[in-house]
């Protein structure tokens, strides 16, 4: 298989879903994008349910639970200009496109992401870059989307170079699923585009130890050698990593591949994602069970997005010492 699967029929043809399931999934595909890269199709065959659950659509995605929200992170009120989200004083998001290598069934931006949408025009991109140049309070730019590593190396390199030339921008960060979901995109050209004279952090989204395939490992080695600092972000997901063993294996796999676990996200309440929900108390208990057993290097912050765009809240800092409760500061 050499190309990304994008329809229920293609998933049937690849043997990833049963033929009888396809017609019920057409309505899901009409609302939420599907993409399974060749690398992830192979991994579904090899590792089974924890990978399949992340990428293969299910009919219940069309059922919205009462607590689920179209825009759980509430980016809109914090958008000063198209493509920019400025929620915290010293950092802001730049979303140059909304395409991803895969479409995760639990995605918090699932109403927005897709292969056709969200690429900033040249004029919109210039305006967004000007906004960063004219906003000295912002010291960190976080490129997200969508997935910025879906851009061509030339376009991504140009954006990074422009941002790195702004004197008050001290650090750059990219959030990406590419290193595990589509590692073939980590080419010499991409590595050249990512080689900067400015600290560049790459936050790699991975949810299961099996995602660290030999191809992913090679890409991560290249990224590390190019001078990027690699961080890991994961979502706590029912059926994927909701056990002590799965979380321990995930965090240890990250460390073995030079990726420091940074965030474990509580699932955002995006529409049709209820099957992935793990209660916070259960997440805290899982992390508490790992405390002391795994090196502190493997320890991520367990965080939850607060309603109405109030930002991330670290969960259960007191709970980690044996009590319960939440820290009060935003991150």
Does 240 contact ligand SF4 by CB under 6 A?
A: no
Q: Shortest Cβ distance from residue 232 to ligand SF4 (Å)?
A: 14
> Would you call 116 exposed, middle or buried from its count of C-beta atoms within 10 A (0-12, 13-18, 19+)?
exposed
Cβ atoms 223, 202 nearer than 8 A: yes
Q: Shortest Cβ distance from residue 109 to ligand SF4 (Å)?
A: 5
- Binding positions for ligand SF4, 191-220, rule CB under 6 A: 205
Q: Work out whether the CA dihedral 10, 11, 15, 21 comes out positive or negative.
A: negative
Question: How does 247-270 read in b/e, with b if 16+ C-beta sit within 10 Å?
Answer: bbbbbbbbeebbbbbbbbbbbbbb
The C-alpha atoms of residue 44 and residue 117 are separated, in whole angstroms, by 27
Nearer to ligand SF4, 146 or 183 (CB): 146
Does 100 contact ligand SF4 by CB under 6 A?
A: yes
Identify which range of 69-77, 103-111, 226-234, 296-304 contacts ligand SF4 by CB under 6 A.
103-111
Which of 133, 132, 128, 99 lies closest to 116 in space, CA to CA? 99
Nearer to ligand SF4, 151 or 169 (CB): 151
Nearer to ligand SF4, 117 or 279 (CB): 117
- Binding positions for ligand SF4, 166-185, rule CB under 6 A: 177
Nearer to ligand SF4, 86 or 177 (CB): 177
Nearer to ligand SF4, 104 or 303 (CB): 104
Tokens of 216: 């992913």
Does 104 contact ligand SF4 by CB under 6 A?
A: yes
Q: Is residue 327 classed as helix, strand or coil in its secondary structure?
A: coil
The C-alpha atoms of residue 251 and residue 209 are separated, in whole angstroms, by 8
Query: Of 113, 159, 160, 253, which lies in the binding site for ligand SF4, with binding defined by CB under 6 A?
Result: 113
Query: Of 10, 61, 75, 147, which lies in the binding site for ligand SF4, with binding defined by CB under 6 A?
Result: 147
Provide the H-helix boundaries in 72-142. 122-133
Give every CB contact of residue 261 below 8 A, 6+ residues apart in sequence: 231, 232, 234, 250, 251, 254, 255, 297, 298, 299, 300
Does 109 contact ligand SF4 by CB under 6 A?
A: yes
Q: Shortest Cβ distance from residue 205 to ligand SF4 (Å)?
A: 6
Does 103 contact ligand SF4 by CB under 6 A?
A: yes
Query: Of 40, 53, 107, 194, which lies in the binding site for ligand SF4, with binding defined by CB under 6 A?
Result: 107
Pairing of strands 84-88, 91-94: antiparallel
Identify which range of 41-49, 107-115, 164-172, 192-200 contacts ligand SF4 by CB under 6 A.
107-115
Q: Shortest Cβ distance from residue 291 to ligand SF4 (Å)?
A: 27
Q: Shortest Cβ distance from residue 113 to ligand SF4 (Å)?
A: 5
Cβ atoms 281, 326 nearer than 8 A: no
Q: Shortest Cβ distance from residue 275 to ligand SF4 (Å)?
A: 16
Cis ω on the peptide bond leading into residue 58 (within 30° of 0)? no
Contacts with ligand SF4 by CB under 6 A lie at 100, 103-104, 107, 109, 113, 146-147, 177, 205
């Amino acid at each position: 298989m050499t190309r990304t699967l994008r329809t229920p029929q293609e998933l049937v043809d690849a043997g990833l879903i049963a033929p009888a399931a396809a017609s019920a999934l057409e309505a899901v595909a009409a609302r939420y994008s599907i993409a399974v890269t060749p690398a992830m199709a192979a991994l579904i065959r090899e590792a089974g349910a924890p990978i399949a659950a992340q990428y293969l659509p299910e009919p219940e995605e069309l059922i919205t639970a009462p607590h689920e929200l179209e825009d759980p992170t509430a980016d809109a009120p914090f958008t000063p200009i198209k493509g920019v989200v400025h929620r915290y004083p010293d950092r802001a998001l730049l979303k140059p496109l909304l395409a991803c290598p895969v479409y995760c069934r639990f995605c918090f931006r699932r109403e927005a992401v897709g292969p056709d949408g969200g690429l900033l025009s040249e004029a919109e991109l210039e305006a967004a870059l000007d906004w960063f140049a004219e906003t000295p309070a912002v010291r960190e730019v976080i490129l997200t989307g969508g997935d910025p590593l879906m851009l061509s190396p030339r376009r991504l390199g140009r954006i990074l170079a422009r941002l790195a030339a702004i004197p008050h921008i001290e650090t750059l960060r990219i959030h990406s699923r590419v290193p595990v979901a589509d590692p073939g995109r980590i080419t010499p050209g991409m590595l050249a585009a990512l080689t900067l004279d400015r600290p560049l952090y790459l936050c790699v989204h991975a949810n299961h130890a099996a995602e660290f395939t030999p191809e992913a490992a090679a890409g991560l080695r290249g990224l590390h050698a190019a001078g990027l600092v690699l961080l890991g972000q994961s979502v706590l997901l029912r059926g994927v990593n909701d056990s002590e063993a799965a979380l321990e294996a995930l965090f240890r796999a990250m460390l073995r591949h030079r990726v420091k676990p940074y965030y474990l996200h509580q699932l955002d309440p995006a529409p049709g994602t209820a099957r992935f929900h793990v209660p916070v108390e259960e997440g805290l208990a899982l992390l508490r069970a790992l405390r002391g057993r795994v090196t502190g290097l493997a320890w991520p912050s367990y965080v939850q997005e607060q309603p109405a765009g109030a930002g991330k809240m670290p969960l259960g800092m007191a709970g980690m010492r044996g009590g319960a409760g939440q820290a009060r500061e935003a991150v």
